[in-house]
A and B are shown apart, each in its own frame.
Chain A
Amino acid sequence: QLQLQESGPGLVKPSETLSLTCTVSGGSISSSSYYWGWVRQPPGKGLEWIANIYYTGSTYYSPSLKSRLSLSVDTSKNQFSLILSSVTAADTAVYYCARRQSGSGYIDSWGQGTLVTVSS
Chain B
Amino acid sequence: QSALTQPASVSGSPGQSITISCTGTSSDVGAYNYVSWFQQHPGKAPTVVIYDVSTRPSGVSDRFSGSKSGNTASLTVSGLQAEDEADYYCMSYTRISAWVFGGGTKLTVL
A residues within 8 Å of B by Cβ?
39, 46-49, 52, 60-64, 96, 104-108, 110-113
Contact = CB atoms under 8 A, between A and B. Distances in A.
Interface stretch (B13-21, B74-82, B94-102): B94-102
A26 B34 CA distance: 27
Interface residues of chain B: helix, strand, loop or mixed (majority):
strand
Contacts of B45: 96, 110-113
A25 to B, nearest CB: 16
Nearest to A63: B1
Contacts of B92: 105
A46 B89 contact: yes
Residue among A47, A60, A106, A113 facing the most chain B CB atoms (10 A cut-off): A47
A104 B51 contact: yes
Contact of A105 (B3, B46, B47, B51): B51
Contacts of B91: 47, 49, 105, 107
A79 to B, nearest CB: 19
Given A49-B91, A60-B98, A63-B96, A108 B103 contact: no
B36 interface: yes
Given A47-B46, A104-B51, A113-B45, A62 B98 contact: yes
B104 interface: yes
A7 to B, nearest CB: 15
Which of B48, B51, B55, B99 is most buried by chain A, counting CB atoms within 10 A of its CB? B99
A106 B46 contact: no
A46 B101 contact: yes
Contacts of B84: none
B101 to A, nearest CB: 5
B34 A104 contact: yes
B88 to A, nearest CB: 11
Contacts of A52: 99
A44 B36 CA distance: 21
Contact of B97 (A48, A60, A110, A112): A60
B64 interface: no
Given A104-B34, A105-B91, A107-B36, A47 B101 contact: yes
